[in-house]
């Protein structure tokens, strides 16, 4: 699996001592920490991503081109959290692989597909933000949503295609721990003894699922920065106030996408580096506690990437925050109830049902004028 999540060097953390009797190498305190951290990651991540997907499906104002990418990202993250984190947790509590040969192939396929969807979606989002800033009028084409859906479908197909060899070659292999006579079984994309293939696998995963996409993303953001610096106040379409507001909003969304990219890069870098280091330096399995802790920290950080996006969007986007709060109100109305003044409720009810004209007249004129434009801006920009 990508980033060493299925290599034999870190697959099982319960071994046998030299006399053949079972000995738990992992302290109980570490096992409890592992269980709590991974359980919290799954619970928070699945809840946040499902809420994000529900917001996209139920709020028409959020069904914009950028948000299609973000919803796809949430689907991939949810898939990773449900299918892979529980399996990773069981590695600490079982001395051998317990999910069978079919489970080995399926889980390897799901994990690599999810990672591919994440990094390629972020790349597509960066390209979308480049187009929105440099050519803002192009994103208003009538087929923009259809084109975005097509790109999302291509991302999923490419990710599954790249994950297919991982599923084909992943299998159950036996390995031995130094000082232990009995062999253990692990799920890995290649036999632990095949060091050359493990080196190639780690390099390919690092290049395809990390380095190359981040180079492309960095290129797009350098072009965005150059456009903003060179154009200054004279961005295209500035003569139209509506277009000018859209450009400002798209700049804000570009910053949001950049935050998502940076979180992904920082969360996955340690795991990739650890896998590269192990592939090129280790000649045998390392059962030490230090290696265990390093592996756990790197993988926990990588998995946390799948649950951070909803928090980032909640923090950076007022529209997402508002819709998230509404969903939370439905789940727990006593904790997330938003107070409303009676007069405001009366005015809103009168405006919705059209019962009186006096109530409409009491609303500020600027509010009545700003509503259609603000709604259009949100639909276009996905804020």
The pLDDT score that the predictor gives to residue 240 is 54
Residues 132 and 37 in one domain: yes
Q: Average pLDDT in the 257-276 region?
A: 93
Angle ∠(374,378,381) on CA atoms, nearest 5:
130
Instruction: Say yes or no: 251 and 374 in one domain.
Output: no
**% of the chain surpassing 90 pLDDT:** 39
Range of 81's domain? 2-338
Segment 264-278 mean pLDDT: 93
- Which range has the worst mean pLDDT, 54-63, 68-77, 146-155? 54-63
Q: Are residues 8 and 140 in the same domain?
A: yes
Query: What is the pLDDT averaged over residues 360-367?
Result: 36
| pLDDT, tens digit (0-9, with 9 covering 90-100), for 196-215 | 888 899 999 999 999 999 99
Number of domains present in the structure of the chain:
2
Q: Give residue 1's pLDDT band: very low, low, confident or very high (50, 70, 90).
A: low
For residues 309 and 378, membership in a common domain is answered with no
Co-location of 6 and 127 in the same domain: yes
How far is it, in rounded angstroms, from Cα 93 to Cα 89? Answer: 7
Q: How far is 273 from 161, CA to CA, in rounded Å? A: 24
Pair 110, 236 in one domain:
yes
Q: 174 phi and psi, to 5 degrees?
A: -95, 145
| Helical H segments across 59-143, by residue range | 65-83, 85-90, 100-134
* pLDDT value of position 188: 87
At residue 171, what are phi and psi to the nearest 5 degrees? -160, 180
| Same domain flag for 243 and 373 | no
The CA distance from 14 to 74, in Å, is: 33
301-345 pLDDT tens trace: 999 999 999 999 888 888 888 888 887 776 665 554 554 444 444
φ/ψ of residue 186, rounded to 5: -135, 155
Assess whether 364 and 326 both reside in one domain: no
Contact in structure between 250 and 136 (CB atoms under 8 Å): yes
Mean pLDDT of 235-250: 59
């Amino acid at each position: 699996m990508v980033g060493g999540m299925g290599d034999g060097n870190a697959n099982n953390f319960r071994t046998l001592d030299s006399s053949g009797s079972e000995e738990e190498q992992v302290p109980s305190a570490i096992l409890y920490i592992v269980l709590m951290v991974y359980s919290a990651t799954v619970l928070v991540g699945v809840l946040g991503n499902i809420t994000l997907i529900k917001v996209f499906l139920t709020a028409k104002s959020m069904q914009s081109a950028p948000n299609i990418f973000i919803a796809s990202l949430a689907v991939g993250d949810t898939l990773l959290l449900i299918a892979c984190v529980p399996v990773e947790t069981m590695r600490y509590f079982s001395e051998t692989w317990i999910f069978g040969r079919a489970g080995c192939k399926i889980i390897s396929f799901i994990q690599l597909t999810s990672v591919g969807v994440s990094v390629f979606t972020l790349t597509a989002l960066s390209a979308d933000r480049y187009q929105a800033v440099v050519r803002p009028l192009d994103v208003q084409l009538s087929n923009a949503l259809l084109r975005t859906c097509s790109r999302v479908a291509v991302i999923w197909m490419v990710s599954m295609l790249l994950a297919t060899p991982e599923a084909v070659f992943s299998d159950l292999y036996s390995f031995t721990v130094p000082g232990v006579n009995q062999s253990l079984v692990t799920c890995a994309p290649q036999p632990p003894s095949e060091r050359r293939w493990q080196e190639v696998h780690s390099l390919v995963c690092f290049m395809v699922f990390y380095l190359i996409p981040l180079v492309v993303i960095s290129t797009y953001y350098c072009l965005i920065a150059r456009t903003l610096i060179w154009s200054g106040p004279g961005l295209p379409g500035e003569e139209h106030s509506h277009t000018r507001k859209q450009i400002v909003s798209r700049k804000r969304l570009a910053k949001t996408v950049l935050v998502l990219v940076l979180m992904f890069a920082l969360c996955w870098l340690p795991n990739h580096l650890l896998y590269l280091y192990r592939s090129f330096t280790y000649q045998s399995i390392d059962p030490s506690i230090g290696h265990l802790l390093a592996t756990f920290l790197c993988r926990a950080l990588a998995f946390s990437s799948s649950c951070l996006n909803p928090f980032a969007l909640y923090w950076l986007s007022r529209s997402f925050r508002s819709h998230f709060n509404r969903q939370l109100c439905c789940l727990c109305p006593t904790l997330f109830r938003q107070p409303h003044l009676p007069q405001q409720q009366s005015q809103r009810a009168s405006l919705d049902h059209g019962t009186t004209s006096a109530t409409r007249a009491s609303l500020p004129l600027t509010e009545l004028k700003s509503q259609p434009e603000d709604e259009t801006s949100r639909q276009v920009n996905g804020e």
